[in-house]
Structure 1
Amino acid sequence: MTNDNDIVLLKEILGNEIMSAFADENIFEIIVNSDGRLIVEDNTGKHHIADLEPVRIRNAISVICQVTNQYVSKKNSDVSLELPKIAPFNGARAQLLIPPTVKAASMTIRKHNVVSLTLHDALSSEVIDGDVFNILKEAISSYRNIIICGKAQSGKTTLVRAMLNSLKEFSNHKDRILILEETREIELDVEDKEYLQTTQGIRTMTDLASKTVRMRGNRLIVGEVRDESAYGMLQVWNTGCPGGISTLHANSPETTPQRLVDLCSPVSSQPHALIAIAVDLIVFIEHDSTVKAGRRVKKVVELVDYDSINQKFNFNTLYQSNKNNQNNQSNTTQWSQLCV
């Protein structure tokens, strides 16, 4: 457990420039490149705000790992971790790199806002419209398995949080929810939940997925699938734990099943049928400058089946955005700051 002395030490070693970025609610990304350039990102873009000594960043990484009980060395030079949950760090996720992976110490920190948003917030922020709201409400209440896809930083995880924060309204509040993540990002206010987290070099996402089979979950939530653990997730979704939600990097909903095929390929040469059975809905979200939130769900498709003869997945389009550029007067600052 992190104590007050750890927090004081962490603030001191990170220094005024980085701590000021943590204090600024408009900033959601803090980057220190190996050349010492400190870059922050807010809703207006990226800004170079300072130059830091590489040795200072290397020392900061050592302290961060010490405080969070992680280990960094030349043989373990790439560490992904969660900062303390105490303000102002609030469980921010950090990617830390040292030589030989990079020329000099480098870090990327994605701040984690503690504000809980729901699908109602997504609706008022125009991230979704009424049609998508109703589709997602029905999908959640009927325990359909949902993949949220999009490019990096398109708001996938934030949309997942909003959906999960709506569970008590749209579904059985007594459900047991199992959440699998590499880095803790999802906080869920339900009575019966269990968080499972990977450990670098020890426990993989595949290991965690296999453990959930005997944990009597009603829903399996996977923060993001990026490797063969997708196969384990699909198997669990298909064998008694429906109502799942996960995120995936993909350029469109139609390419998402093939992306899952590619991820499953190390452990299964023919996962197509499993994918078609296990995945019900695919929601595509991307950047959109026409809404103040900066992100918008553009398409929702139902994965109908896999045509083995023609070797293609078949879809039913439930929603496609045709929104034109309009003035939006709603207050969407919170949502746009939270999007990851």
Structure 2
Amino acid sequence: MNRLLNNLIQVFDKYFQTPGANEVVILKEKELFLCVNGKWNELPLHDEQLKKEVLNDFLIFLANDREQQFNKKNRSLSTSIPGTNYRVQALHKTALNGQDFSINIRIPPKVVFPIEAFKISKNVPYSYEDILNFITQRKNLLISGGTGSGKTSLLNTLLKQIDTNERIVIIQDSPELKSSNINQTSILVDKKDTGTFTYQDAIDAATRLFPERLILGELDTRNTLMSLRLNNTGHAGTISTVHANSAEDALYAMNLNIRFERDISDKTITEYISRAIDYIIQIERNKLTNEREIVEILDLKHYVNNCNDEEELNSKNIQSLLTKLVQGETK
């Protein structure tokens, strides 16, 4: 790593080391907002070190180190700080209205939590033992939730339950997943498909790496269909995440992701998904207590088999979700 970039990163170190820190947000020079244990400070913190030149140099050197560009033509930077799993999302001032900066730095938990750290809602008919058994039984799992709900934290917790003798292959676009398995290959793809190493490249490579388990960090329009195809061709015990507000919305979100790639009927896609995924685990963050809570576990095969009403599987559901997306109701 460039020595100057390392010095620039050190400016943020006291915030990274703050116990319980979740996120750093910078909107103007010499000020920042810090989220600790899920709660933001009401007024910005003042820091003389965060001068305009320092912040600009940080973003430019970070982009260069990651072989990206950050300028008027490339106005969005999505990457991570070298040597860490801290995600950085920044927008160039030419993409902003009346402000010079929009910098978000996500600080993941420094420890892997025990499964008991995730509360199970009373209406969920599964226990911690049941969830852990999903791993040993090699069920294909999808963890669903909104931004900051704890999806990646729960995935890391479940990774601890995998037999350490198994060979696993991890594919992600941010270095957030942690496994203690010695026989593992962790693949980092470009965040944008304009990059030189895409999800298609990574998944093609992964199938030739003889994985006993394939872990895919997050499903989106770039990888959903490819991932489900792998699940349907003998790759059991996979775990992935998706952004959705409920288990049903996760199903429809995958449906939409696939329809961006292929024109396939809704019912066909839903049945295909149900063959590839066994359970959808929905997780939420309680904003009052900051607890991460498992609020729903959907047995997908049982759910689809019992959907006798074709209205639940037709395009009206997709149109409903599209409307929510347009109105900003679904993250």
Give the alignment partner of residue 276 of structure 2, picking from 275, 278, 295: 278
State the Cα distance separating 1:70 from its structure 2 match.
3.5
Aligned: 1:294 with 2:291: yes
CA distance in 2, matches of 1:185, 1:206: 20
Instruction: Provide the alpha-carbon RMSD of the alignment.
Output: 2.6
CA distance in 2, matches of 1:53, 1:207: 40
Q: Give secondary structure in 2 for the equivalent of 1:139.
A: helix
Match of 2:217 in 1: 223
State the Cα distance separating 1:24 from its structure 2 match.
1.0
Alignment of 1:240-255 (within 5 A): 240-255=234-249
Do the aligned residues in 2 keep the contact of 1:10 with 1:64 (CA within 8 Å)?
Answer: no
Q: Give secondary structure in 2 for the equivalent of 1:283.
A: strand
Do the aligned residues in 2 keep the contact of 1:34 with 1:102 (CA within 8 Å)?
Answer: no
Do the aligned residues in 1 keep the contact of 2:29 with 2:55 (CA within 8 Å)?
Answer: no
Give the alignment partner of residue 161 of structure 2, picking from 163, 166, 174: 166
Query: Does the C-alpha gap of structure 1 residues 310 and 159 become closer, same or farther in structure 2, counting only changes over 3 Å?
Result: same
Range moving further from structure 2, 104-113 or 181-190: 104-113
- Superposed CA offset, 1:276-312 (max 9, x none): 110110101112367x551111111100236587154
Match of 2:262 in 1: 268
Alignment of 1:81-230 (within 5 A): 81-85=79-83, 90-103=84-97, 104-117=100-113, 121-123=114-116, 125-128=117-120, 131-168=126-163, 173-199=164-190, 200=192, 201-202=194-195, 203-230=197-224
Identity, % of aligned positions: 22
CA distance in 1, matches of 2:38, 2:227: 37
Do the aligned residues in 1 keep the contact of 2:22 with 2:38 (CA within 8 Å)?
Answer: no
- Residue correspondences, number: 294
Range moving further from structure 2, 75-84 or 138-147: 75-84
State the Cα distance separating 1:34 from its structure 2 match.
5.3
State the Cα distance separating 1:275 from its structure 2 match.
0.6
Do the aligned residues in 2 keep the contact of 1:210 with 1:232 (CA within 8 Å)?
Answer: no
State the Cα distance separating 1:44 from its structure 2 match.
5.6
CA distance in 1, matches of 2:287, 2:75: 37
Query: Does the C-alpha gap of structure 1 residues 226 and 44 become closer, same or farther in structure 2, counting only changes over 3 Å?
Result: closer
State the Cα distance separating 1:62 from its structure 2 match.
1.4
Query: Does the C-alpha gap of structure 1 residues 293 and 132 become closer, same or farther in structure 2, counting only changes over 3 Å?
Result: farther
- Superposed CA offset, 1:7-53 (max 9, x none): 642246xx3xx332122122120111257641110126112212754
CA distance in 1, matches of 2:76, 2:297: 36
Query: Does the C-alpha gap of structure 1 residues 238 and 159 become closer, same or farther in structure 2, counting only changes over 3 Å?
Result: same
Q: Give secondary structure in 2 for the equivalent of 1:152.
A: coil
The one-letter amino acid paired with 1:310 is E
Q: Give secondary structure in 1 for the equivalent of 2:283.
A: strand
Aligned: 1:23 with 2:21: no
TM-score by length of 1: 0.78
Do the aligned residues in 2 keep the contact of 1:55 with 1:105 (CA within 8 Å)?
Answer: no
State the Cα distance separating 1:67 from its structure 2 match.
3.9
CA distance in 2, matches of 1:310, 1:44: 41
- Superposed CA offset, 1:174-225 (max 9, x none): 2221111111101211021111121232233233223322222111111111
Do the aligned residues in 2 keep the contact of 1:122 with 1:128 (CA within 8 Å)?
Answer: no
Query: Does the C-alpha gap of structure 1 residues 264 and 308 become closer, same or farther in structure 2, counting only changes over 3 Å?
Result: farther
Range moving further from structure 2, 229-238 or 31-40: 31-40
CA distance in 2, matches of 1:215, 1:44: 39
State the Cα distance separating 1:260 from its structure 2 match.
0.6
CA distance in 2, matches of 1:251, 1:74: 34
